[in-house]
Structure 1
């Protein structure tokens, strides 16, 4: 059994991987530390063979996880590091390590699900959009504030009273707080549609005669289910996509120094 850990800016998710595949994902808010219920759950686990970690939550939290792994199982946690070429994925960045490891792992996860081309949208503390063309070529991506950060920055930078920032079922609102909440949801959903269409157009141009099949649209992250209903095209919600990328690494002889 392998233990796979995804440390985000706000939440920590983990799952076990065994011969049957990836198990159920469990998530907690970490607040910069490891909650007691998480420690109790890990203490009850059968000893893993390997522990792989994707960490964008900061060096201190990563070191805390590493210490717990040593104390519980006598293992060294293996922290994923973005590589230019790995398991069929080629990163577009001139400096690959500047691509967040969570984004890289999500792209590896998308390839592992058989996506020939895809737009990968991760809606968490930040909202990231990564474009994957055919044959594993990453074209680049975009980063925006996530829903909470987008709303908070607007309220902080204006004199708009926050009110009750609950979105409406309509694409507009008759209250300022609801207008901000609804607007942030539609902004991210509309960008997902726009980038997906741009990618599809590009693939069709490259295909020559006829139109290329539509690329996959994969939505992940804690707020993914909030924007998914607003996107007017086929998509897949894959909350565990980063862990899927870690699972691909764990199924190989990959090591951080490779």
Structure 2
């Protein structure tokens, strides 16, 4: 049994792998430390054989998680790093270390999940867009502020009042709060459509559109291309990488 961790900018997702991707995924906000409810859950776990993690949340949370796993089970966390090549997957960045490990693991999982080209949208604190051809060639990607960061930056730089609101079913709004709420979702959805169509032209066949991240479900109503939400995409990629390493070791 392995404990798999996806440490994002804001949230930590974790699950137990017993020969496959985690059946159940838990999500907590980490605030650059170890949440008490996470420790409470881990106190009830049997000792895992390994703890494997993806971390883009910073050094402090990584250090705190490492202390907890050593205290509970005497295990160090194995942090996965981005690689230029993994199987047929080849990332476009000339400097792999500059490509976020969460984005890389999402590509690993997407390439295993669907046979066609894919546009992977991770709607978290930041929104990332990555284009992948069916043969494993990563074309590159884009990064924007996520939904909440986009709204917060607009409100911080203007005198628009902070009105808690979610967009209506229409892509536009008739009041300021809903206009801000709808604008952030429609901006990400519009860029998704543009990239999807460009990828379809290059692949010469409709690609898969895979959404992940904490705001993936919020984006669905704004999408005008068929999409599937895979909340545990990074954890699935983590499992694929660990499984591939173990297969190579046995071979």
Alignment of 1:5-44 (within 5 A): 5-19=5-19, 21-44=21-44
- In structure 1, the residue matched to 2:95 is 95
Partner of residue 129, structure 1: 129
Does residue 1:184 correspond to 2:184, yes or no?
Answer: yes
Gaps of 5+ in 1: 205-211
State which of 241, 244, 247 in structure 1 corresponds to 2:239.
247
Provide, for residues 156-215 of structure 1, a one-character-per-residue CA deviation record: whole Å limited to 9, x for no partner.
Answer: 1122223333212211111111101101111111111110110001112xxxxxxx2x11
CA distance in 2, matches of 1:63, 1:168: 42
Unaligned runs of 5+ in 2: 247-251
In structure 1, the partner of 2:138 is 138
1:208 corresponds in structure 2 to none
- Preserved contact between residue 162 and residue 176 of structure 1 (Cα < 8 Å): no
1:221 paired residue among 213, 217, 224: 213
For residue 140 of structure 1, give the secondary structure of its aligned residue in structure 2.
Answer: strand
Looking at structure 2, the residues matched to 90 and 118 of structure 1 have their Cα atoms a distance apart, in angstroms, of 14
CA distance in 1, matches of 2:189, 2:2: 35
CA 1:53 to 1:20, structure 2 compared with 1: closer, same or farther past 3 Å?
closer
Q: State the Cα RMSD in Å.
A: 1.3
1:221-244 Cα distance to aligned partner (Å, 9 max, x none): 000000112212211100000000
What is the 5 A alignment of 1:102-251? Answer: 102-204=102-204, 212=205, 214-251=206-243
Runs of 4+ in 1 over 4 A off after TM superposition: none
Aligned residues: 246
| Residues 120 and 211, structure 2, Cα contact 8 Å, conserved in 1 | yes
Task: Report SS of the residue matched to 2:162.
Answer: coil
SS in structure 1 at match of 2:3: strand
For 2:64 and 2:33, the matched residues in 1 are separated by 7
